[in-house]
Structure 1
């Protein structure tokens, strides 16, 4: 294990602490009031600076995220509401969307509310509000490395409807500022089913400020609306009153293996108050997630950058079908997705 700028064996660590939770670890917690009452969280502390909450009650998405006690992600005003408050109609998703580091969108619709095949699909689909089952939480030694993992399954289905199952594992290691996500989406039904998926990563203040730059993968860049300004898509600004959201598509990502996008800030505030150069890098398999959607929203309160690897864009299921780009899974067929988020303190060079 690499920790505190040196290498350690398991026994060297264990003889210095009463239990591993002294320096990091994994722990179940539960919300106790308001709309968060009863919401189950799994808190992971890597001991190297990165801490984050996985939310079994909300599709095993990721809520709070911090580096050295300083926020990395953006939290929505409604908090991590219990899924019982979710309304699937139209754009009601916005009332209970948690924000946080990751909101998964899908599994049957992404983006605009959509009418397809006589069925209404709400904004961004249901999976972000579906509780996980068969949740496993583990912290254990593997040689001299301490591994922490959360696993579970999320089913989106209905009587007479399609049945898609998300199996997710989120893993981190003590001493590393890395989050690894491994997903499988399987059609466990008996008919061909449409499958849309978007990983809605959200980054906020103070990572996002006037000093922030974003390095995007080589791709074809286009705004969602033709008249939308493109200049400044790779920089940030102070909060602007009345700012209209901007959405950009980075398509046809030119990568033989993994694509990546990086946020750089050379003045991230360390706990001491000093400015710390930092970069946050998100990487994924471009073969299964060929698009990156960018949501630029430096408004007041809603002050957030969304970086969203996806197998679609955000115009809804019917639009994908009309374009011939809607992904389908045959009965028993599955798709695998792997993403990694890494925080690099002291590194901002492009």
Structure 2
């Protein structure tokens, strides 16, 4: 294992500690106050500087994420609200959305509230507010490497409606500031099921400030709204109370995928704080370009809502009815599934 600037064997480390949790690992806990009461967290510490909270109570999403003690994620003013407070109609999602490193939008609907022949769909769907089950935590030595994983399933079903099942696994190694995410969404019903999926990654201060360089994969960029200037999507600015959001669609070109089929966007902060010191830090977000052919960018430099969303997706964010007008959404046949792969790497 590579840790603290040198290589260690398992026995060399074990001779120096009482338990591996002294260095890093995974730990399960439950919040107890206010609207967060009852929300379950799984805290992951890589031992190399990256720490983050997986939230089984909310779609197996990720709330606070930190690197060397400073946040890289943006947290909403709502906190990690328990899903019992969720209001699914219209834009009620905004009252209980946690922000954090990752909010899953889907599984049947993404984007603006929408109606179609199958019913009404609130903003961004139900996945972020659906508790997971079959939670499994694993720490296992493989030679001199300690591997960890956290997995669970999220089900979105309706009597006489569609039945979609998400199986998610986070995995990595102690000493490595890398999170691998593997999702499998399956239609476990007996009729074709519309499926929309968007990974709402939220980055904030101090990773995000006026010095931050934002890099995108090779893509054709399109603004959702005519008034959003295309020349500002790769820059950032200080907070302004009067700022308004802008959304951009990055349609991936064929050359955007590397030899592993992954596209990549990144944020580079040349002066990321680590206590009283600072050094350059880069956060790289990678995803499977074949199943997530679009990167949605949410740009919100407001005061108190100072956040950049980088959102690999299989759809746009104008809602299910608008997606149908464009020939979508993706239709999963009965018994079929789709695999999504993502990685977050901090260096």
- TM-score when normalising by structure 1: 0.97
Q: Displacement, 1:274?
A: 1.7
Is 2:241 the partner of 1:241?
Answer: yes
Cα distance in 2 for partners of 1:116, 1:156 equals 18
**Structure 1 unaligned regions, length at least 5:** 345-350
Aligned length: 343
Cα distance in 2 for partners of 1:242, 1:16 equals 54
Q: Displacement, 1:16?
A: 0.9
Cα distance in 2 for partners of 1:276, 1:172 equals 24
For residue 331 of structure 1, the aligned residue among 330, 334, 347 is 334
Is 2:321 the partner of 1:318?
Answer: yes
1:17-32 superposed matches below 5 A: 17-32=17-32
Cα distance in 1 for partners of 2:322, 2:125 equals 15
Tell me the residue number matched to 2:232: 232
Q: Secondary structure at the match of 1:236?
A: coil
For residue 295 of structure 1, the aligned residue among 283, 298, 323 is 298
Whether the 8 Å contact between 1:138 and 1:149 is mirrored in structure 2 is yes
Whether the 8 Å contact between 1:252 and 1:290 is mirrored in structure 2 is yes
**Structure 2 unaligned regions, length at least 5:** none
Cα distance in 1 for partners of 2:266, 2:63 equals 20
Q: Displacement, 1:227?
A: 2.5
Is 2:181 the partner of 1:198?
Answer: no
Tell me the residue number matched to 1:348: none
Whether the 8 Å contact between 1:3 and 1:175 is mirrored in structure 2 is yes
CA shift digits 1:128-181 (9 cap, x unpaired): 000001101111211111111111100001111100000000112110101110
Cα distance in 1 for partners of 2:58, 2:149 equals 17
Cα distance in 2 for partners of 1:125, 1:250 equals 22
Q: Secondary structure at the match of 2:52?
A: strand
Whether the 8 Å contact between 1:253 and 1:291 is mirrored in structure 2 is no
Cα distance in 2 for partners of 1:146, 1:59 equals 26
Cα distance in 2 for partners of 1:45, 1:71 equals 14
Tell me the residue number matched to 1:266: 270
Q: Secondary structure at the match of 1:75?
A: coil
The CA RMSD measured in Å over matched residues stands at: 0.8
Cα distance in 1 for partners of 2:204, 2:173 equals 24
Cα distance in 1 for partners of 2:124, 2:142 equals 38
Tell me the residue number matched to 1:278: 281
Tell me the residue number matched to 1:136: 136
Q: Displacement, 1:116?
A: 1.2
Cα distance in 2 for partners of 1:222, 1:172 equals 35
Tell me the residue number matched to 1:42: 42
Cα distance in 1 for partners of 2:147, 2:3 equals 14
Whether the 8 Å contact between 1:253 and 1:259 is mirrored in structure 2 is no
Tell me the residue number matched to 2:114: 114
CA shift digits 1:256-314 (9 cap, x unpaired): 4210001011011112x222101000001100000000001010000000000000010
Cα distance in 2 for partners of 1:56, 1:172 equals 18
Cα distance in 2 for partners of 1:43, 1:36 equals 16
Tell me the residue number matched to 1:251: 251
Cα distance in 1 for partners of 2:249, 2:10 equals 46
Q: Displacement, 1:118?
A: 4.3
1:160-239 superposed matches below 5 A: 160-239=160-239
Of the structure 1 ranges 134-143 and 76-85, higher mean CA displacement relative to structure 2 is found in 134-143
Q: Secondary structure at the match of 1:107?
A: coil
Q: Secondary structure at the match of 2:106?
A: strand
Is 2:147 the partner of 1:147?
Answer: yes
Q: Secondary structure at the match of 1:209?
A: coil
Cα distance in 2 for partners of 1:263, 1:139 equals 30
Q: Secondary structure at the match of 2:324?
A: helix
